[in-house]
Amino acid sequence: MEQVPWAFFLTRRYTFIRLTCVGSTKKSPGLWHDWYHCMGHTYGTWLPGDPKGFRTRHHREHVEGDYKHPPPEGKYDQRHRHAKVLMKRDPVHLTMEQRKLIVKLLVESLQRRNIEVIVASVTEIHFHLLVRFHDHNPRHWLGIAKKESSHYAEQAKLGAEGGL
């Protein structure tokens, strides 16, 4: 049997019809019923200037291209080299054992705060979550969940030095 390259979590209470409710914004809080599709990456795996496309912090700068239509070749090479130089350690790539633990810890952290999670998946370098944030503050709650999951993974001897 082939090993699956990601860890996955799906609550049984919901049907896939609810998966269409994503992308709530502060301007239209009721439109998507507070559901957000959230994602993040492990340390050092998606840097500014990445040839496959990238975004700046809080989207403060417009960057040409995305994963379907990458930026022109060589346009951001200097920025990418500079980002690599600034890294204090190697990029983090999660093992299957780490992925299983991290997906469990992320979901548990959010659920302890009465935040609904329908789907969560963790790959070698990133995660995806479908989560309902009634206060429209996903950055805050995900920051806490990421911090906790990294801490508990380190306690379980499955973390990376300096965090995930």
Q: Which domains does the chain have, with CATH numbers?
A: 7-42+92-155 (3.30.70.1290), 57-86 (no CATH)
Does the pLDDT value for residue 120 go beyond 80? yes
Kindly state the average pLDDT of the residues 134-160.
Answer: 90
| Distance between CA atoms of residues 53 and 68, nearest Å | 9
| Distance between CA atoms of residues 136 and 100, nearest Å | 27
Angle formed by the axes of helices 138-155 and 96-112, nearest 10° = 130
pLDDT value of residue 109: 94
Selection from 41, 38, 40, 12 nearest residue 24 by Cα? 38
Does the pLDDT value for residue 11 go beyond 70? no
Contact, 128 vs 39, CB < 8 A?
yes
pLDDT value of residue 31: 54
pLDDT value of residue 56: 78
Secondary structure E strands in the chain: 7-10, 35-41, 116-122, 126-132
pLDDT value of residue 159: 80
Which residue matches tokens 């994963």?
Answer: 67
Contact, 73 vs 64, CB < 8 A?
no
Does the pLDDT value for residue 15 go beyond 80? no
Contact, 24 vs 34, CB < 8 A?
yes
101 — pLDDT class (breaks 50, 70, 90): very high
Does the pLDDT value for residue 10 go beyond 80? no
- What the block records as the tokens of 76 is 């951001």
Does the pLDDT value for residue 111 go beyond 60? yes
